[in-house]
Amino acid sequence: MQNSQQQAYDRGITIFSPDGRLYQVEYAREAVKRGTPSVGVRTQDGVVLAAAKRTRSPLVEGDSVEKIHKVDDHVGIASAGHVADARSLIDFARRRAQIESLRYGQPIGVETLTKAITDHVQEYTQTGGARPFGVSLLVGGVEDGQPRLYETDPSGTPYEWKAVAVGGDREEIQRFLEEHYREDADLDAGIDLAIEALASVDDDFDTTQVSVATVDVETGSLRMLDDDELATITDELDLEDEE
């Protein structure tokens, strides 16, 4: 009897279990843990987004695996979890940013954009015939000259962070960030920290399997680091495995 009741709570996204849990939301969080990790670091000079990429075959074009996306000139998003769900939410975020720009003639705030995304995500935790989004996003950008970094949860809850990891090995990476984060770090130090955090849980760390983007306060623009820049940073940090 208890087994059949458990299954009923499992299947119904709109049904709370007797102990107040929505199992489908918890399963969505498990989907996030199965994704490759993404890291966000906020510094006094801007925000860094870094993401590990996974390719199923050496024949896959690495550039086709996107983990960091430009939403507006001043905002980027890194994802962890179900890739198709991430793309859907990023398209939503881009539309929301364009609406704000057309309606008010100014860039959308990072906090406003994040809460619009999480409001949309939350609707899918209480709608019959739907399922939660199996993805967490890191929303980083510059708002009124200040760097901002947010995490979205499959439950529809936003959190603001100084440094955060989502996806696989989150606990280990988060501990690394907590031990090494410095309030006075500049943007270059933030890039180093983000890359080192991803490398700390990867015995076969490969710079070609990492994407890094920054949004700096001075320009207020998102910039993707190219492969040569990443290779140089990795060499300086001595992170590449030696054969």
Please give the Cα distance from 189 to 182 (Å, whole number). 9
Please give the Cα distance from 204 to 180 (Å, whole number). 22
Find the catalytic residue in 14, 36, 157, 234.
Answer: 36
- Please give the C-alpha separations between residue 23 and each of 84, 124, 146, 160, in angstroms, as whole numbers: 21, 13, 37, 25
Task: Assess contact for 149 and 215: CB atoms under 8 A.
Answer: no
Query: How would you class 119 by CB atoms within 10 Å of its CB: exposed for 0-12, middle for 13-18, buried for 19 or more?
Result: exposed
Cα dihedral 199, 201, 204, 207 sign: negative
Cα dihedral 74, 108, 66, 163 sign: positive
Which residue in 127, 118, 134 sits closest to 14, CA to CA? Answer: 127
| DSSP category for residue 37 | P
Query: Does residue 36 have an active-site annotation?
Result: yes
DSSP-derived secondary structure for 166-223: ESTTHHHHHHHHHHH--TT--HHHHHHHHHHHHHTT-TT--GGGEEEEEEETTT--EE
User: Which residues are annotated as catalytic?
Assistant: 36
